[in-house]
Chains A and B, each alone.
Chain A
Amino acid sequence: MIFLIAALGLYYLFPPGKRWVVLLGFSIFFYCSCGVRTLPLFIAMTAVSYFGSLLLCRNKSRELFFILILLLLLPMLLTKTLVRFTELSVFAPVGVSFFTLQIIAYLSDVRSNKTAPERNFLKYLLFIGFFPQLLQGPIPRYGLMEDLYKGHTFDEDKVIKGFMLIAWGFFLKLMIADRAGIFVDMVYSDIDRYGGTYIFIAGILYSIQLYTDFSSCVCIAKGSGEMFGITLSDNFNRPYFSDSIKDFWRRWHISLSMFLRDYIYIPLGGSRAGKLRKYVNIMITFLVSGIWHGGGLNYIFWGMLHGTYEILQELLGGLWKKAGVITGFDGHRRLVRLLNILITGFCVMTAWIIFRAESLSKGLNMVLSMFTRVNPWILFNDSLILDGFEMADWNILALSVMILIMVSILQEKGVSIRDRILSYPLLLRGALYMAVILICVVFGEYGEGFETGSYIYAGF
Chain B
Amino acid sequence: MQVFRSFREHRSFALRVALFVFLLVSGLNILSLILMPKEFINSGYPGTSSMLGFYDLPEDSLDVLILGSSHAITGVDTQKLYDDHGYKSYTLGCSEQNIAVSYFYLKEALKTQHPKAVILETLMAFPFRDDKILYSSAASSEKALNYMKPGMNRLRAVYEISKYDSELDPLGMILHFLQYHERWDNLSEKDILIFDDYAYLTLHGYNVKYGNLLKEEQKYRPFDKESGRTGELSPVIRGYLSKIVDLCRKNNMELILLKTPSNKTGADEYRTMSAFARENSLYYLDLNEAEAYGRIGFDYKNDMGNVGHVNFTGAQKIADRIGEVLKESGVTPGSPDRDWEETEGLYKICRENFMISIEDSKAEYLSMAENRRYSLFIVTSGEEGNSVYLRCDHKEVLCRDGTTVMGTLPGSQKEYEAYSNEEGMSVMIDGDEKITGDKKWYAVIYDEVLRDVFDVVYSDEDGRLTHM
Q: Check if A and B associate.
A: yes
Q: How far is the CB of A175 from chain B (nearest CB, A)?
A: 12
A35 within 8 A of B: no
Q: Please tell me if A447 contacts chain B, counting CB pairs below 8 Å.
A: yes
CB-CB under 8 A from B13, the residues of chain A are 156
Alpha-carbon distance A392/B181, docked complex (angstroms): 14
Binds B, one of A63-71, A356-364, A434-442: A434-442
State whether the Cβ of A382 lies closer than 8 Å to any Cβ in chain B: no
**A442 lies within 8 A of B31 (CB):** yes
A144 within 8 Å of B by Cβ? no
Interface residues on chain A, size class? 20 to 34
Chain B residues lying within 8 Å of A434, measured Cβ to Cβ, are 20, 23-24, 27
Residues of A within 8 A of B9 (CB): 154
- Residues of B within 8 Å of A443, CB to CB, are 181, 184
Are B181 and A442 neighbours in the complex by a CB distance under 8 Å? yes
- Listed stretches B105-113, B172-180, B193-201, B256-264; interface member: B172-180
Residue of B nearest to A395 (CB): B185
Our pick among A426, A437, A444, A447 for the contact of B179 (Cβ within 8 Å) is: A447
Other A-B contacts than A156-B13, A448-B169, 6 sampled, CB-CB below 8 A, are: A13-B3, A154-B6, A441-B31, A446-B178, A447-B178, A447-B181
B292 within 8 A of A: no
A407-444 at interface with B (beta carbon < 8 Å)? 426, 430, 433-434, 437-438, 441-444
Contact B6 A12 (CB under 8 A): yes
A435 to chain B, nearest CB (A): 10
Say how far B13's CB is from chain A's closest CB, in angstroms.
5
Task: Tell me, in angstroms, the Cα distance from A430 to B185 when the chains sit together.
Answer: 26
Q: Does residue B335 face the partner (Cβ distance < 8 Å to A)?
A: no
**A438 proximity list for chain B (CB < 8 A):** 27-28, 31
Q: Indicate whether A15 reaches chain B with its CB closer than 8 angstroms.
A: yes
A314 close to B (CB within 8 Å): no
A431's nearest neighbour on chain B, judged by CB, is B23
Q: Let me know if A447 and B20 touch, CB within 8 A.
A: no
A15 close to B2 (CB less than 8 A): yes
Minimum C-beta distance from A240 to chain B (A): 29
Chain B nearest CB, measured from A63 CB (Å): 51
Contact A426 B16, CB 8 Å, known A13-B6, A442-B31: yes
Q: Is the CB of A437 within 8 A of B24?
A: yes
Query: Closest A-chain residue to B187, C-beta based?
Result: A442
Give a binary string over B229-243; 1 marks a CB under 8 Å from any A CB, 0 the rest.
000000000000000
Number of A-B contacts (CB under 8 A): 45
Q: Does B10 lie within 8 Å of A154, measured CB to CB?
A: yes
Fill in one digit per residue for B434-468: 1 if any A CB lies within 8 Å of its CB, else 0.
00000000000000000000000000000000000
Q: Taking the complex as formed, is A390 at the interface, i.e. its CB lies under 8 A from any CB of chain B?
A: yes
A-B contact pairs, 7 of them (CB 8 A): A13-B6, A433-B20, A434-B24, A438-B31, A442-B35, A442-B177, A447-B182
Residues on B with C-beta less than 8 A from A426 are 16
CB under 8 Å from chain A, chain B span 13-56:
13, 16, 20, 23-24, 27-28, 31, 35
Chain B residue with minimal CB distance to A443? Answer: B184
A-contact 0/1 string along B93-124, CB 8 Å cutoff: 00000000000000000000000000000000
Task: Indicate with 1 or 0, residue by residue over A366-377, a CB within 8 angstroms of chain B CB atoms.
Answer: 000000000000
Q: Which residue of B lies closest to A438 (CB)?
A: B27
Q: Give the distance to chain A from B394, nearest Cβ to Cβ, in Å.
A: 38
> In the complex, which residue of chain B has the Cβ closest to the Cβ of A174?
B181
Q: Which 3 A/B pairs are nearest by Cβ-Cβ distance?
A: A392-B185, A442-B184, A156-B13
CA distance A268 to B140 in the complex (A): 65
In contact, B20 and A441 (Cβ under 8 angstroms): no
- In angstroms, Cα B3 to Cα A392, docked, is 49
Distance of A433 Cα from B19 Cα, bound (Å):
13
- Whether B177 and A441, one on each chain, are in contact in the complex, defined by CB atoms closer than 8 angstroms, is yes
| Complexed CA–CA distance, A156 and B181 (Å) | 32
Most chain A CB inside 10 Å of its own CB: which residue of B13, B178, B182: B182
- The answer to whether A441 touches B181, judged by C-beta atoms less than 8 angstroms apart, is yes
Say how far A156's CB is from chain B's closest CB, in angstroms.
5
